[in-house]
Structure 1
Amino acid sequence: MSLLTPAVAFGAALVLFVWLGSGVWVNFDAHARGSDHPGLWGVLSPLSGIVLFYYLLWWRRGRSRRYPPSRWERATAIVAVAGFGGLAVGSLVSPPDPTSQLTTWPVAFAGCLPVAYWAVGRRFDPTGDSFINDRL
């Protein structure tokens, strides 16, 4: 059996899409919080988990938003949350084989999309800013 089946190729493409979506969300969020270099945050945070955790847990907390999140920012946040949630669920229910995980992950991602939509729409910003209950 070939390792590059259409399901595995779709899973790999979806991984890249979520990776890009998380970088775009960080870029949007850093710009709204007044960063001098939001593009740098957007590029470095998906490349390094350490930079992403630093951004989410330290840098972002001390700065309030200057304007509410746009529709595109919410959409990229939904993709990022569903992607990481799908990755966690998919790794729990599939065998440790990377091929099996890449075929299970798109299904888990699709299952996490409604939950991510609800979570982002219900409470977009965990820092308590005033833009929390705006809907898409």
Structure 2
Amino acid sequence: MSLQLTPVAAFGAALFAFVLLATGVWVNSDARARGSSYPAVWGVFAPLSGIVLGYYLLWWRRGRPRERPPNRVERAAATAVVAGLGGLVVGSLVSPPDPTSQLTVWPVAFACCLPVAYWVVRQRFGASGSKYAGR
């Protein structure tokens, strides 16, 4: 079976690229707010490698408090990342293991996960960002 790039599958692939870009923006902004010497390096390599992203999330940022609150762009990027990961999990559970089918289901799952992701990021970062320091 060949991979057919329908307009819906192309939209799914573009959305995947958007989520990778949002992951880089979020990691770059978060690393900059935590005082990293090389936030751009984190922002480039974290979306490209799950190992680097896991290391960043589970080890590097753990002992470093934020020096400034998250801004609107950072919260929007975090929302896109959470919705993208949630949509990827849901889409892989409800669609056949065919890549084209997963690319067509994933945008719908992303859209369904977007309100939940917005709520999660709002609870985590706060609307005003007042919970960023002092911990």
**TM-score, L = length of structure 2:** 0.91
The answer for unaligned runs of 5 or more in structure 2 is: none
CA drift at 1:2:
7.2
**TM-score, L = length of structure 1:** 0.91
Closer/same/farther in 2, CA of residues 2 and 53 from structure 1, 3 Å limit: closer
CA drift at 1:123:
1.5
The answer for unaligned runs of 5 or more in structure 1 is: none
Q: Deviations over 1:51-86 (max 9, x none)?
A: 000000000001000010000000000000000000
Match of 2:54 in 1: 53
Give the partner amino acid of 2:78. Answer: A
Match of 2:25 in 1: 24
Quick one: percent identity of the two aligned structures?
A: 69
**Counterpart of 2:78 in 1: which secondary structure?**
helix
Match of 1:105 in 2: 106
Match of 2:35 in 1: 34
Please give the residue correspondences for 1:1-136 in structure 2 after superposition, counting only pairs within 5 Å.
3-124=4-125, 130-131=131-132
**Counterpart of 1:120 in 2: which secondary structure?**
helix
Closer/same/farther in 2, CA of residues 2 and 42 from structure 1, 3 Å limit: closer
State the Cα RMSD in Å.
1.7
